[in-house]
Amino acid sequence: MLLEFKDVKKSYPGSDGPVAVLNGVSFRLGQGETLALTGESGSGKSTLLHIASGLEQADAGRVLLDGQNMTQADDSSRAALRRTDISLVFQQFNLIPSLTVAANISFQARLAGRVDTQHIDGLTKALGLAEHLGKYPETLSGGQQQRVAIARALAARPKLLLADEPTGNLDEATAADVLEQMLNLVAQTGAALMMVTHSPKIAGQMDRQLHLRGGVLV
Ligand SMILES: Nc1ncnc2c1ncn2[C@@H]1O[C@H](COP(=O)(O)OP(=O)(O)OP(=O)(O)O)[C@@H](O)[C@H]1O
């Protein structure tokens, strides 16, 4: 099993005491599997994704990545796992403005110590980015910027790709293209994918769907 949540709980401080966002969340994600995470605004989808990525810690329960207990790992081991095994794609692209497209794409692979130029060339071509490599992110369209973020995320050959509304900032036609390319590349690289989405149509393209309601998965 690649990712396993066991009775995960998370609260945030509210004006009248802690507010439970995740109230005992359990699920498993196998290698290469794709999973959609849906739920109303504020239901805790991003919180769950951040805990899966190690960006945030659960208050209780266990999160296992490839059998390793992330809940007990210290900050530096969680950071190491994030560099080597997990990649994230966000709604807002989050590219590094001072780096060229080429440098953005190889950034995480460099951090992970896993630069494979042939693999990066393949991603760049598949995403139609070959003629944009020397440009800076601000000169690209939203769709092109998100393609750069996807190439960066997959360049390090992560076992797990976590995507938070990755096509939420794109028009419908661009969103459909970017999603198709992302799903093809995820399948090719063998990564597992967990994607937060508000779109039932997008959720329907994943192997499985989980819905968050009232702090639990239904
Ligand atoms: N750092 C934080 N401090 C306090 N409360 C937080 C924090 N992060 C999230 N929350 C609260 O936790 C709840 C869940 O937030 P989260 O962003 O996980 O929801 P979501 O389902 O991803 O929402 P959306 O679909 O609107 O992005 C919200 O009520 C939010 O206000």
Q: For residue 210, what are the β-bridge partners?
A: 37
- The dihedral over CA atoms of 216, 46, 194, 22, expressed in degrees to the nearest 10, equals -20
Residue 22 near residue 9, CB atoms below 8 Å? yes
Ligand 1 proximity of 10 Cβ (cutoff 6 Å): no
Q: Where are the alpha helices (DSSP H) in the chain?
A: 45-53, 75-84, 101-111, 117-126, 142-155, 172-189, 200-203
| Centroid of ligand 1 to alpha carbon of 42 (angstroms) | 5
pLDDT number for residue 77: 81
> What ipTM was predicted for this assembly?
0.95
**Fold type of domain 33-54+80-208:** Rossmann fold (3.40.50)
Q: What is the pTM of this model?
A: 0.94
Ligand 1 proximity of 215 Cβ (cutoff 6 Å): no
- Closest approach atom of ligand 1 to CA 49: 18
Residue 47 near residue 19, CB atoms below 8 Å? no
Residue-level pLDDT, tens digit, the chain, 218 residues: 999 999 999 999 999 999 999 999 999 999 999 999 999 999 999 999 999 998 899 999 999 999 888 887 788 888 887 778 999 999 999 999 999 999 999 999 999 899 999 999 999 999 999 999 999 999 999 999 999 999 999 999 999 999 999 999 999 999 999 999 999 999 999 999 999 999 999 999 999 999 999 999 99
Residue 23 CA, distance from chain mean position: 22
Query: Other C-beta atoms within 10 Å of 92: how many?
Result: 13
Which of 25, 37, 47 is the pocket-test mutation for ligand 1 (most atoms within 8 Å of CB)?
Answer: 47
